[in-house]
Each structure stands twice: as structure tokens, then as C-alpha cells.
Amino acid sequence: MFLRNAAAAALPLLLAASVASAETAALPAEKLFPFLQAYYNMPSAQRDHFQMAYFMAIKGDAKSVTAAVKHAEGDVALAIASNGRITPLPSADDLKNKRQIALTAPKGTSIGITIKLVPNIVPAATLDAAYLAVAIAQAHDGAKKAAGLLSLAVPDYKTVCFDGAPSGTAVLKSGKSVALKVQTSTDAKASVCFTPSDTPDAVQIKFERAPSAIYIVPRPK
């Protein structure tokens, strides 16, 4: 399997891989999950409001692609959801011990890995604005630290966008409601988004329909 880093340090990060002559390849966990060790190395109080999410983009028979962390006592399967998200992620111990990921796919399959940052909050019709603001701030600072000397290449995370929610409002301390803007996120999708600096006195974010997913992104233009 050939693994190529297509965007050094920048997040979301795209990696490309292809299964050539073999159906199963063993890859170091840190290669398939870049920056995850840096995330684990951060003090928990600096990352408890956000997490890293890794997604596979598969060209080929996606249902036939499997991944597992190799352990002496038995492999630990990694689930690949319909949207490509991989769970659970390798643990800090897996990375420390340089465990391998067994990646199996039909011959000729092409696989890309994209990293996204997500708040540690369950999508719901009503969300705490302050929690989201902290998640954005932690992700912003954490991404810069993870990139190290290449931190200038990291996007300036300032916003959260809500997939699957057609509209939303920010409820302010005064009780007034302000409609959230529909903006283009990093996936070129039109999404309802919340930028704390636009409404610093927001206390809640409300939707008629709960979002299906929430992503921390650079401020959309």
C-alpha cells in the first residue's frame, strides 16, 4: 500500500492510499492517523471540548474495506461508518507502542483519509453556545500546537457548522434571537454556522431540527 501526505500540517488533512498487488496491508497507526499523538499529548483540560475525527473516502467497494489495530492478543476492529468516519480511534497506548493498522480492501481500491475537528457534544435541537465557543478555542489552539513549526499553514478555526439543520438561531442574553447564517463550510456545503465573535453574548443555539453532525471549521467567507 502506498501512503502519501498530500497536505503537510494543514487540517483538514487529506492522505491518499491505494491497494495495489495485495488486499491487506499493515500501516503504522501514526501514519494512518496523523496528529492523533499530538492531540493525546495535550493536557486533557485543553482538549476536553473537542476531538479529532478521521474519515475514509473510498473509491471502490466501500463495504469490503476493513481496518483493525493489530494486538498480540487479538486484533481490535475499527468500524467504518456510512459517511466514512472511523471509530474507535487507536489509543494513546497503541501509538506509543507503534502498533500497526491492518487495512484490507479489494485490489485496486483507492482510499483517502480526511481529518475533521468536532465538538465533544451530542447534536441536539438546543446547544450551549458557551460550550461551542470553548470547543472552537481549544481546536484553534490545539491545531496550531499539533502543527508545530508549520502552524502558519493551519486554518484559523473560528466557527462551527451544523450539517442537516436547515436553519437555526442564536439566543442572546437579552432573550433576543438572531438567525444563524447559512454559509459554505470546508466541504463546500451550504450549512448553518455559528461564529462566537459575531454574537459574543449568545447563550443558546436552537434549531427546528437537530443537526446530524457538527464540525469546527475556519470562518466561512
**pLDDT per position as a tens digit, 65-108:** 999 999 988 999 999 999 999 999 999 999 999 999 999 988 88
Do 16 and 80 reside in the same domain of the chain?
yes
Residue 158 has pLDDT above 50, yes or no: yes
**Listed residues 92, 118, 144: the one ending a domain:** 118
> Cβ contacts of residue 26 below 8 Å, gap of 6+?
70, 100, 101, 102, 103
Tell me the H-state helices in 70-201: 92-96, 129-147
Euclidean distance between CA atoms 32 and 156, whole angstroms: 24
- pLDDT class of 194 with cuts at 50, 70, 90: very high
Q: Residue 110's pLDDT is what?
A: 87
Average pLDDT, the chain: 86
Mean pLDDT to the nearest integer, 45-65: 93
Answer yes or no: are the C-beta atoms of 107 and 19 closer than 8 Å.
yes
Determine the structural domain holding residue 162 and report its residue range: 122-218
- pLDDT class of 147 with cuts at 50, 70, 90: low
Edge-to-edge strand list for the sheet holding 86-87: 24-28, 100-104, 66-69, 76-80, 86-87
**Listed residues 118, 143, 167: the one ending a domain:** 118
Do 55 and 131 reside in the same domain of the chain?
no
Phi, psi (rounded to 5 degrees) for 159 = -140, 155
* Best CA proximity match to 129, nearest among 193, 196, 61, 36: 196
Do 111 and 168 reside in the same domain of the chain?
no
**Listed residues 94, 118, 142: the one ending a domain:** 118
Per the model's pLDDT, the better-predicted residue between 153 and 161 turns out to be 161
Answer yes or no: are the C-beta atoms of 117 and 215 closer than 8 Å.
yes
Per the model's pLDDT, the better-predicted residue between 14 and 92 turns out to be 92
Mean pLDDT to the nearest integer, 190-217: 95
Mean pLDDT to the nearest integer, 121-137: 98
Euclidean distance between CA atoms 170 and 164, whole angstroms: 17
Do 127 and 77 reside in the same domain of the chain?
no
Euclidean distance between CA atoms 4 and 14, whole angstroms: 9
Q: Please tell me the total count of domains within the chain.
A: 2
Do 129 and 113 reside in the same domain of the chain?
no
Euclidean distance between CA atoms 68 and 81, whole angstroms: 14
Q: Residue 215's pLDDT is what?
A: 95
Its pTM stands at 0.84
Do 126 and 156 reside in the same domain of the chain?
yes
Report the helix count and the strand count for the chain, using DSSP H and E.
4, 17
Do 214 and 135 reside in the same domain of the chain?
yes
* Best CA proximity match to 10, nearest among 212, 184, 147: 147
CB count in 10 Å sphere of residue 137: 17
